[in-house]
Chains A and B, each alone.
Chain A
Amino acid sequence: MIFWELFKTFFIIGLVSFGGGYAMIPVIELEVTEHDWMTLQEFTDIIAIAGMSPGPIATNSAIFVGYQTAGLLGAVVSALGMILPSLCIILLISMFFNKANKHRTVQSAFYGLRPIIVGLIVYAAIKFALSNQLIGTISTHTFSLLCIFALSLLALVKFRVHPAFVIMSAGVIGVILY
């Protein structure tokens, strides 16, 4: 059943979603394409909209995927799947292990976890660049895409422009160029 599939999928993703939403993009992408819920192109669009919307990008994407796949109820079960693991863990920590994050073993675990998160995000970037013909082919189209990429990155790193604004500007450039 589709609702159970959605819930189960996002429950597992919610359980491992350490280090902010961006690391979860490749995980959600893998599940979504394996289940044939949507194509990689559609998924990139979803990430774009989720990134422009208020709220956490991973939870937003889950709601999107749920809605596109199985309507309102699909969105509800996907969101619940995504947040239930956090809720349970937070309740457990609040009740029993108040200082858990100060514990040495927990800190050691994060020592290994954090670089993996970075690896996951780099992987997501490479995957998206490949699927959107940003790298791998040579043409004027690719060149213009690369320019948008470079400008966006510059705006984010150097000028600290707000991500939502970067996405919208890129959209405007897209309408003008293509």
Chain B
Amino acid sequence: MKIKWKLLWAIFVTFFKIGPVTFGGGYAMIPLIEREVVTKRNWIKAEDVADVFAVAESVPGAIAINSATFIGYRIAGPLGAIVAMFGILTPTFFIIIALSISYLYFSDNPKMIAAFEGIRPAIVALISFAAYKIGQMAITDKTTLVTAFITVVLLLTLPIHPAVIILCGALAGILLVLTKKKLGHEVHLGE
């Protein structure tokens, strides 16, 4: 198999350019990716992109990185997936390192301490907002509401590793849907 270096390089550069502008999570990036890979480069079709975002959401990891990886695979196979992933990750990696260094440098500054004092409640608000947004999508009936509630109580009271709870959640989902079917209840699986 001949490796298409030129194509791989083009993929890397395309996602490298998208990387630094992905402020505010992956969803902000969707139109950008579409413009680059569908309109400008004609690499894949518009309807395939919608498909990619749907799958990218259901795979662990950040949706932005996942989408890039999936698209990279569609364009140029496994190597395409790898270069797309590193393309989108590299710029933010160096930005974070730069910020890390300045944090170490400034973290004793009284002005910075005051700023972070104000930022912390905003972070709590940001996290609450994320819960609200995902909640709108995830809490579709009483079962899901109770599941979310039990999760919070368990995490607050018992020393369980969250990873274990996540895996149990997937299993519980399969069992719950099966039981509900047996009992003749209608279950909306989202879609």
Chain A residues proximal to chain B, CB less than 8 Å: 12-23, 25-27, 30, 44-51, 53-60, 63-64, 67-68, 72, 75, 79, 82-83, 85-87, 89-91, 93-95, 100-101, 104-126, 128-129, 132, 134, 145-146, 148-150, 152-153, 156-157, 162-164, 166-167, 169-175, 177-178
Contacts and interface: CB of A to CB of B under 8 A. Distances in A.
A118 B138 contact: yes
B93 A63 contact: yes
Kindly state the interface size class of chain B when it binds its partner. Answer: 35 or more
A132 B116 CA distance: 11
B184 interface: no
B69 A86 contact: yes
B120 A112 contact: no
A105 B174 contact: yes
Contact of B122 (A55, A116, A123, A170): A170
A91 B148 contact: no
Interface in B153-182: 155-156, 161-163, 165-178
Interface stretch (B8-16, B36-44, B94-102): B94-102
A18 B131 contact: no
Contacts of A58: 62
**5 closest A-B pairs by CB:** A174-B118, A112-B173, A119-B151, A56-B62, A86-B61
Nearest to B146: A115
Contacts, number: 344
Contact of B173 (A54, A83, A86, A111): A111
Given A106-B58, A121-B130, A178 B118 contact: yes
Contacts of A149: 121-122, 124-125
A54 B147 contact: no
B54 interface: yes
Given A25-B127, A50-B96, A53-B92, A90 B81 contact: yes
B99 A19 contact: no
A134 B121 contact: yes
A148 B118 contact: yes
A112 B170 contact: yes
B30 interface: no
Given A87-B81, A111-B144, A156-B126, A20 B119 contact: no
| Prevailing SS type, chain A contact patch | helix
Contacts of A95: 78
B81 A91 contact: yes
Given A48-B123, A163-B24, 17 more contacts: A20-B62, A45-B107, A55-B92, A56-B65, A59-B92, A67-B96, A86-B66, A94-B73, A109-B170, A111-B144, A112-B170, A116-B168, A119-B149, A121-B134, A134-B121, A156-B129, A170-B118
Contacts of A146: 121
B156 to A, nearest CB: 7
A126 B55 contact: no
B120 A44 contact: yes
A93 B61 contact: no
A83 B85 contact: yes
Contacts of B138: 114-115, 117-118
Contacts of B130: 20, 22, 121
B173 A79 contact: no
